[in-house]
Amino acid sequence: MFHDNPFAALPFASIVMQAYIVVMTLAVVAGTLFDVYHKGSAKFFALRRQKAQAAAQQPLGGGRVLLLALATVAEAAVSGEFCKWPRRLSHLLMMYGFLSYAISSVLMVFAYPAGVPTPNVLPSLWAIGALMILVGGIWFFFFLRVDVAHDGASRLHLGRADLFIGSLLASAAFALVWGYVQALIGDASGTRALFGMYILSTTLLCVCVPWSKFAHMFFKPAVAFQRRIEEANGSSDLPRPAAVSYIVRS
């Protein structure tokens, strides 16, 4: 499984899987745009930007804006918005696991179809990425969800907010099982059934963007960047930390 490209062994033309990835990518883009329109996020950001520009106390040059953008990217790269290390580590495992899982999938499907030797590093990154998703996701799902950790809800409780993490975990889990069985016994009815479950869970992950937290990952960096801009130009309306006064008694 760590050395074989599972997509190259599929019993149909490579273009079918390539078309599937294109359609799923378009579904994510369309779902995100619909989510932006439905929730009014684009309008909110536009009004917020106009308000910030009108209330700015000092203009920001292009270099300063670039530095703020880089700082936002750096914060997102280490999940700096989370103060507690368990939640941060869980999100880092899922984030980098998903990137490894998704990018290696695209490369194996498009660059190394059937008949083209695949570098061993890609199947390894694919499997390791899926494992990272499972470790971080299961940790989050059973121990770190707000309703579980703070509200005392059952660890098996499922709501609409869990659609993203649930379908992501299912996609990674079925990918690993399908890849292992494919490498072990090759094309068989059981292998095809597992591949079908993998496709079903991955499709659910991509087409349910408007009802899940998938689009959330695109909004958070935008909100963080806008916050940095407002703090830098003096237009932020967020309360500042209260100054602490110390009384020295003689």
pTM across the whole model = 0.80
To the nearest whole percent, how much of the chain has pLDDT over 70?
82
- Tens of pLDDT, residue by residue over 34-70, are 887 777 776 777 777 777 777 778 878 888 888 888 8
Question: Which long-range CB contacts under 8 A does 51-60 form with residues at least 24 apart?
Answer: 51/235, 52/226, 52/229, 52/230, 52/233, 52/235, 52/236, 53/235, 54/235, 55/234, 55/235, 55/237, 56/233, 56/234, 56/235, 57/233, 57/234, 57/235, 58/233, 58/234, 59/233, 60/229, 60/232, 60/233
Burial class, 164, CB count within 10 angstroms (exposed 0-12 / middle 13-18 / buried 19+): buried
Domain layout of the chain by residue ranges: 6-39+83-216
- Alpha carbons 113 and 104: distance in angstroms, whole number: 13
Write down the H helix ranges in 120-207.
Answer: 121-139, 146-149, 163-185, 189-207
Residue 250's pLDDT band (cuts 50, 70, 90): very low
Q: Running DSSP on this structure, what letter comes out for residue 244?
A: P
Residue 201's pLDDT band (cuts 50, 70, 90): very high
Do the beta carbons of residue 139 and residue 90 sit within 8 Å?
A: yes
- Residue 96, pLDDT above cutoff 80: yes
- Name the least confident of 62-71, 79-88, 161-170: 79-88
- Give residue 93's pLDDT: 94
